[in-house]
Amino acid sequence: MIEKANATANKNVDRKIIKEKLGKIAAEADISLRDIFADIDRVAMKRTEDVCRAFARARVSESSFYPTSGYGYGDRGREAIDAVYADVFGCEAAVVRHNIVSGTHALTIGLFGLLRPGDILLSVTGAPYDTLGEVIGTRGDAGGGSLRDFGVDYDEIPLLGDGFGGIDYNSLAAKLSGDVAHRIKVVFAQRSRGYCSRSSLTAAELSALTEFVRARSSAYVVIDNCYGEFTEDKEPTADLIIGSLIKNPGGGLAMSGGYLAGTARAVELASYRLTSPGIGAEVGATLGQNRHILQGFFVAPHTVAQALKTAHFAAYVFDALGFDVSPRWGERRSDIITTVRLGSPEALCAFCRGIQQASPVDGFVTPEPWEMPGYSDKVIMAAGTFVSGASIELSADGPLRPPYTAFLQGALTYESGRLGVLSAAEEVILNAGTLPQNAVH
């Protein structure tokens, strides 16, 4: 592991030597990753074919791009978008809207749409992503409008093997047959790791969860699908799969938004929470956003492939430098996130500085930790993106808490992602003031 930084670190290592060392590692990565990249391209080809066929079936045309205002009744583009998402994701229905502000917002719509006072929300992937804490009521003050405020209880089952062993089906079976089984209304799973040290779950694993629950319960299965879309041959099966358009499915072109896709009844109930009971998905002016959403979805399989290649490259480089990375460079992925355990707040900040410096937007800005709404720790974020906060674009972030892990995701192009990874590695080495002793490449 790279030694801890000292006050004169930047003077101790020559940038030219660092660049030469990283250049050798990058050249080795090019050779080692060929087969993995070929498989990524195969998935992108298959999913692009799925998208193209869905566009034709939904009769997407120039008229689909026309904006509507007011109530938005009869918006053909909005209806085509919903149909395309449902088709590609293998669902009965979908609701996709540009005015869903984030993945957390989309999840909130889904959970409030399905849960009622006295129900239990059961998470089978441990504690969910930080920002859902105040939605559920496990964090924040009472009276803020959480699910707990409305009489919904929460329970959770950790993943096996410290987060790397999959879903604990024995514990889930016990919950679904226990004294309060009739109150479990939603079984929730998070596909990606969030700010946790755990593996992401594959579409097959999540679909198996849905089958397991449906065989034993009438509970809805809800999946936080953020960061996972288009990374595999298909999406998971569930009553609701939920995500953000400024992540994978927006392709870097959607300017905002989120989606909920699944069974017709679950989507209907969610749409009632989105607007109002009895109105649901029948309204919603699109204000000229349909073109961005449709074009973004069209390029999404290719864009996600670029992000996946960047993720594998990052894992290779930082593994070669002696850091603990997850997933490892040779492992197949079901989301676009790579974690690098950096060991100190200084190294984490250096990593994010390197990503920011290689960004096309705000590359001159130095990111600093701040108290971001919805998080319990200060968070540092590097995101020089064309769409603010878009994590399908190259970005990195992490909470300032041990073991000071950077969460890297995105890249609109592999070329730009590669440059960003090497820039981050250079800054981390400069922060340490010494080249890693075990990086013999």
pLDDT tens-digit series, residues 386-410 = 999 999 999 999 999 999 999 999 9
| Torsions phi, psi for 340 (to 5 deg) | -125, 115
Domain ranges of the chain: 9-44+302-432, 47-298
Which pLDDT does position 370 carry in this prediction? Answer: 83
* CATH match for 9-44+302-432 among 3.90.1150.60, 3.40.50.300, 3.40.720.10, 3.30.390.10: 3.90.1150.60
Reading across the β-sheet that carries 93-97, which strands appear in turn? 93-97, 258-262, 240-244, 220-224, 184-190, 120-123, 153-156
Which pLDDT does position 436 carry in this prediction? Answer: 66
Residue 441 CA to residue 231 CA, distance in Å, equals: 30
Read off the pTM.
0.93
Residue 223 CA to residue 321 CA, distance in Å, equals: 35
Token code pair at residue 104: 């957390």
Determine the topology of domain 47-298 in CATH: Aspartate Aminotransferase; domain 2 (3.40.640)
Nearest to 285 by CA among 73, 106, 81, 96: 73
Which pLDDT does position 154 carry in this prediction? Answer: 98
Contacts of 178 (CB under 8 A, 6+ apart): none
Residue 328 CA to residue 69 CA, distance in Å, equals: 48
Token code pair at residue 326: 């997850």
Residue 188 CA to residue 219 CA, distance in Å, equals: 10
- Crossing angle of helices 15-32 and 34-57, rounded to 10°: 70
Residue 249 CA to residue 243 CA, distance in Å, equals: 8
Which pLDDT does position 438 carry in this prediction? Answer: 53
End-to-end alpha-carbon separation of the chain, Å?
15
- In order along its 441 residues, the chain shows pLDDT tens digits of 444 344 344 455 788 899 999 999 999 999 999 999 999 999 999 999 999 999 999 999 999 999 999 999 999 999 999 999 999 999 999 999 999 999 999 999 999 999 999 999 999 999 998 889 999 999 988 999 999 999 999 999 999 998 889 999 999 999 999 999 999 999 999 999 877 778 899 999 999 999 999 999 999 999 999 999 999 999 999 999 999 999 999 999 999 999 999 999 999 999 999 999 999 999 999 999 999 999 999 999 999 999 999 999 999 999 999 999 999 999 999 999 999 999 999 999 999 999 999 999 999 999 998 887 767 789 999 989 999 999 999 999 999 999 999 999 999 999 999 999 999 999 999 988 766 655 444
Token code pair at residue 401: 């808490």
Reading across the β-sheet that carries 324-326, which strands appear in turn? 324-326, 338-341, 405-409, 395-399, 379-382
